[in-house]
């Protein structure tokens, strides 16, 4: 197995699925000659031609709407929204159309599209290149929302998403693109959507997270192990549908739960995870459920000091974990 970066794993998944299935094509802004602004689609236009690696007009609703129509006519579009911040013009297409075409046609039509978008901050992206938008979509039945945190999951989950008969939003934390590397199988494989993964076994406290924050949580857990606190870390991987069984199991295991995400707290994914735990295993708990999330401000500031303060870090998470362990 070769060691791959997160971004390479995503690129490989696209390349392999496009080779395997001629119905698969990518479309978006700058995905062709430019190879994407992060270069996720680098080299695809040379291999598959400009019709299957389609540089579209700068129009996000069109990128998603055209994907929906192409899927109705038998293709498997993988749409790229250049930054998750810019998905807003396409929200009507995603919520009102993609999420309910199967439902409102009584199963006659489906919508096998994937919408990929880099999200998250910590890269000096300022107000409009840093946001976490997942909570907008996790509320909507009919959608699947996936956020991988490791290269092997990124590849396996993207292949699953492309083969999935339902619309999947696939958010890639842009800070992970070149930060995380690991051995990734060469061949195509699928990682199931809807299944969380235990990243670290522990007995004192449980940390539930996803994306970049998951890595910070693992680093914090390592620090705390040296202090004698054993942390159990669950990577959600899919935010809709949530892996309820895994969440409840992880919560019950230690009775102390910290939910961590970069997105702000109010009505974020942590709210739902916390409600699930409260509904199903309140009496297994030994401490109030804790959440560590982004601040309640509209966007990530451009100013470096403010951005640093906005972002989560292993130190911040370690503090929250210590506090919970002591409770």
Report the catalytic residues.
129
- 215/199 Cα distance (integer angstroms): 10
Residues binding another protein (CB under 8 A): 25, 51-52, 54, 56-57, 59, 61-62, 64-75, 77, 89, 92-93, 96-97, 101-110, 141-142, 144, 164-166, 194, 241, 244-245
What is the four-CA torsion angle of 213, 37, 135, 197, rounded to 10 degrees? Answer: -40
Which parts of the chain are beta strand (E)?
2-5, 24-28, 53-55, 76-80, 114-119, 144-146, 168-173, 181-184, 197-200, 205-209, 231-235, 238-240, 257-264, 290-294
Contacts of 197 (CB under 8 A, 6+ apart): 153, 234, 235, 237
Q: CB 73 → another protein: shortest distance, Å? A: 4
CA dist., res. 238 & res. 12, Å (int): 20
User: Would you say 17 or 262 has its CB closer to another protein?
Assistant: 17
Question: Which one, 27 or 311, has the nearer CB to another protein?
Answer: 27
* Cα separation, 220 vs 287, whole angstroms: 20
- Rounded distance between C-alpha atoms, residue 36 and residue 55, angstroms: 10
DSSP letters for 251-303: HHHHS-EEEEEEEESTTSHHHHHHHHHHHHHGGG-SS--EEEEE-SSSS--SS
Write the DSSP symbol of residue 130. Answer: S
Residue 62 · residue 93 · CB < 8 Å: no
Q: Between 68 and 311, name the residue whose CB sits nearer to another protein.
A: 68
Distance CA 214, CA 210 (A): 5
- Decide whether 101 or 205 has the Cβ nearer to another protein: 101
Residue 233 DSSP SS3: strand
Nearer Cβ to another protein, position 7 or 98?
98
Nearer to another protein, 166 or 182 (CB): 166
Residue (of 161, 44, 172) closest to 113 by Cα position: 161
């Amino acid at each position: 197995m070769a060691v791959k970066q997160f971004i390479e794993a995503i690129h490989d998944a696209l390349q392999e699925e496009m080779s395997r299935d001629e119905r698969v094509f990518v479309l978006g802004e700058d995905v062709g000659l430019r190879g994407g602004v992060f270069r996720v689609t680098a080299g695809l236009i040379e291999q598959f031609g400009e019709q299957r690696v389609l540089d579209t007009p700068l129009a996000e609703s069109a990128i998603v709407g055209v994907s929906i129509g192409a899927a109705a006519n038998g293709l498997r579009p993988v749409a790229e929204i250049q930054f998750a911040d810019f998905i807003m013009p396409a929200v009507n297409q995603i919520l009102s159309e993609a999420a309910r075409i199967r439902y409102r046609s009584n199963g006659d039509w489906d919508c096998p599209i994937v919408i990929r978008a880099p999200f998250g901050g910590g890269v000096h992206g300022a107000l409009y290149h840093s946001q976490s938008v997942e909570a907008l979509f996790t509320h909507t039945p009919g959608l699947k929302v996936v956020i991988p945190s490791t290269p092997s999951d990124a590849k396996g989950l993207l292949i699953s998403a492309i083969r999935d008969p339902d619309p999947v939003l696939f958010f890639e934390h842009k800070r992970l693109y070149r930060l995380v590397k690991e051995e990734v199988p060469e061949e195509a494989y699928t990682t199931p959507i809807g299944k969380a993964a235990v990243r670290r076994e522990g007995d004192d406290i449980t940390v539930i997270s996803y994306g970049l924050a998951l890595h910070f949580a693992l680093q914090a857990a390592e620090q705390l192990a040296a202090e004698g606190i054993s942390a159990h870390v669950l990577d959600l991987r899919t935010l809709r549908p949530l892996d309820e069984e895994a969440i409840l199991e992880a919560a019950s295991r230690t009775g102390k739960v910290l939910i961590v995400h970069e997105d702000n707290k109010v009505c974020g994914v942590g709210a739902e995870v916390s409600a699930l735990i409260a509904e199903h295993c309140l009496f297994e708990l030994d401490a109030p459920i804790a959440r560590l999330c982004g601040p309640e401000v509209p966007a990530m500031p451009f100013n470096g000091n403010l951005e640093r303060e906005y972002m989560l870090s292993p130190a911040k998470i370690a503090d929250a974990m210590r506090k919970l362990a002591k409770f």
